[in-house]
């Protein structure tokens, strides 16, 4: 049964699992909501800083092209995607916004390779891997959705 459910979800266009396939306990539902909140927190906390002159200057120094435009645009992606995933409203779209945020930020701002300073290289590698793990989580949400206790799950019941 689990294989059949997975193959239906992994078809060309993933769809939410039927309610009968997922009978999550109240604790499991709460854990999913808590997980979305923890995942979204970093984007919602960091997003506003992407509108500051200092952050824009730092990104320009790191080689980000058109930093005056792209860094605030990244802030919009982070905040919109973070709110979408947090509330589970159009969470798949919100997760894709976070993917669009994470890929360039990770590649431009956390280039650990080629840094001469070993401590700086290690710090950037840790941040690169942190972003890579968040990218993995965003891809999971983009494919499977927000789960229970979300505005998306409420809409599918109506």
Sort residue 27 into left (φ over 0), alpha (ψ -120 to 50) or beta: alpha
pLDDT digits (tens, 9 = 90+) for 87-145: 999 999 999 999 999 999 999 899 899 889 999 999 999 999 999 999 999 999 999 99
pLDDT in tens, 10-58: 445 555 555 544 578 999 999 999 999 999 999 999 999 999 999 999 9
Look at residue 114 in the predicted model and tell me its pLDDT. 84
pLDDT reading at 150 higher than 50: yes
Contact 105, 131 (CB under 8 A): yes
CA distance 126 to 137: 17
- Cβ neighbours of residue 2 under 8 Å, at least 6 residues apart? none
pLDDT of residue 154: 78
153 or 116, which is more confident: 116
């Amino acid at each position: 049964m689990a294989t059949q459910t997975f193959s239906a979800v992994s078809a060309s266009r993933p769809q939410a699992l039927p309610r009968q396939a997922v009978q999550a306990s109240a604790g499991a539902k709460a854990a999913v909501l808590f997980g979305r909140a923890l995942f979204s927190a970093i984007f919602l906390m960091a997003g506003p800083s992407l509108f500051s002159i200092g952050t824009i200057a730092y990104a320009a120094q790191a080689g980000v092209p058109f930093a005056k435009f792209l860094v605030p645009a990244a802030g919009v992606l982070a905040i919109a995607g973070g709110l979408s995933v947090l509330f589970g409203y159009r969470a798949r779209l919100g997760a894709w916004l976070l993917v669009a945020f994470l890929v360039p930020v990770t590649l431009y701002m956390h280039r650990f390779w080629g840094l001469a300073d070993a401590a700086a290289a290690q710090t950037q590698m840790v941040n690169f891997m942190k972003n890579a793990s968040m990218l993995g989580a965003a891809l999971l949400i983009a494919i499977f959705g927000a789960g229970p206790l979300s505005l998306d799950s409420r809409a599918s019941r109506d």
